[in-house]
Amino acid sequence: MRNHETGSAEENWRILIVEDDERLATLTKDYLESNGLQVSVEGDGSRAIERIKNEQPDLVVLDLMLPGEDGLAVCRIVRPYYKGPILMLTARTEDLDQVLGLEMGADDYVAKPVRPRVLLARIRALLRRVRDTTMVDGDELSNDNRLTFGNLVVDNAMREAWLNGESIDLTSAEFDLLWLLCSSAGRVLTREEIFHQLRGIEYDGQDRSIDVRVSRIRPKVGDDPMNPKRIKTVRSKGYLFVKEL
């Protein structure tokens, strides 16, 4: 994935749509291109895996139901090789699909039938979040961009985290959530706050995506999922990142 100059036009962003419905893929491609994005389409899951690895698009829009490999398998297989955002398309009523997609490493999801404006807004939000955290000028680098909690170090400028000196494998969405939590260490963040900060939408009281990500992050930062001490769940409120253990 490429770094982008501040102020660069959005047409620099390269999007890969993985969708076997040719009509839907074409309509989506045309709409996104009319809004300044570079878009290519792949209809086969197996071929998509190789394309994602080799082409490293800035963002992948990934359908679940695909020939070759399904969307969940594609997400799981490419994650070790691809750090960019993956936006998954799911059935509106299939909460399990949404949870499984997030567990496989997807960054966000949009329910079908897809509303083009909603899809575009989600794509832009994901890409701008990556851009804003990677485009840090040299004179902006400071201790504010790197936080240390004992054996855990999180660096927002580099978008990396280390535990006991070893790099932690985090998706883009997991890193964003971890940084939000640790930069607010000692303060309870409500799910409403987290949703607004990370997804730019209101929390509907039912979405489990944040809970899924927290459950994935905990063991990666050395926390006990059964008895967490670093990232605590505050019942009926949200999450608390503990400054000192």
Query: To the nearest whole number, what is the mean pLDDT of the chain?
Result: 84
Shared domain for 32 and 108, answered yes or no, is yes
Task: Give me the CATH number covering residue 34.
Answer: 3.40.50.2300
Q: Distance between CA atoms of 184 and 221, rounded to whole angstroms? A: 16
Is residue 49 exposed (0-12), middle (13-18) or buried (19+ Cβ within 10 Å)? buried
Residue 134, pLDDT above cutoff 60: no
Q: What angle do CA 83, 122, 55 make, to 5 degrees?
A: 35
Mean pLDDT of 59-82: 92
The more confidently predicted of residues 231 and 118 is 231
117 in a domain, yes or no? yes
Task: Please identify, among 109, 132, 155, the residue that sits at the C-terminal boundary of a domain.
Answer: 132
Shared domain for 152 and 120, answered yes or no, is no
Mean pLDDT of 155-161: 87
139 in a domain, yes or no? no
2 in a domain, yes or no? no
Task: Please identify, among 70, 101, 132, the residue that sits at the C-terminal boundary of a domain.
Answer: 132
Residue 173: per-residue pLDDT: 83
233 in a domain, yes or no? yes
Task: Give me the CATH number covering residue 225.
Answer: 1.10.10.10
Shared domain for 126 and 169, answered yes or no, is no
- Tokens read off for 207: 């979405």
Domain ranges, residue 209: 146-241
116 in a domain, yes or no? yes
Residue 229: per-residue pLDDT: 92
Is residue 7 exposed (0-12), middle (13-18) or buried (19+ Cβ within 10 Å)? exposed
19 in a domain, yes or no? yes
Centroid of chain to Cα 70: 19
Shared domain for 165 and 96, answered yes or no, is no
* b/e per residue 34-43 (b: at least 16 CB within 10 A): eeebebebbb
Is residue 116 exposed (0-12), middle (13-18) or buried (19+ Cβ within 10 Å)? middle
What is the tens place of the pLDDT at every residue in 19-57?
A: 999 999 999 999 999 999 999 999 999 999 999 999 999
* Helices and strands in the chain, H and E counts: 8, 12
Q: Distance between CA atoms of 87 and 181, rounded to whole angstroms? A: 22
Shared domain for 120 and 155, answered yes or no, is no
Residue 54 host element (H or E): helix 45-55
Residue 188: phi, psi to the nearest 5? -75, 125
Q: Are 107 and 85 in contact (CB under 8 A)?
A: yes
- The model's pTM: 0.68
Shared domain for 124 and 150, answered yes or no, is no
Residue 67: phi, psi to the nearest 5? -75, 160
Which of 123-127, 214-218, 229-233 comes out lowest in average pLDDT? 123-127
Mean pLDDT of 186-215: 83
Shared domain for 180 and 101, answered yes or no, is no
137 in a domain, yes or no? no
Shared domain for 90 and 198, answered yes or no, is no
Specify the number of domains making up the chain: 2
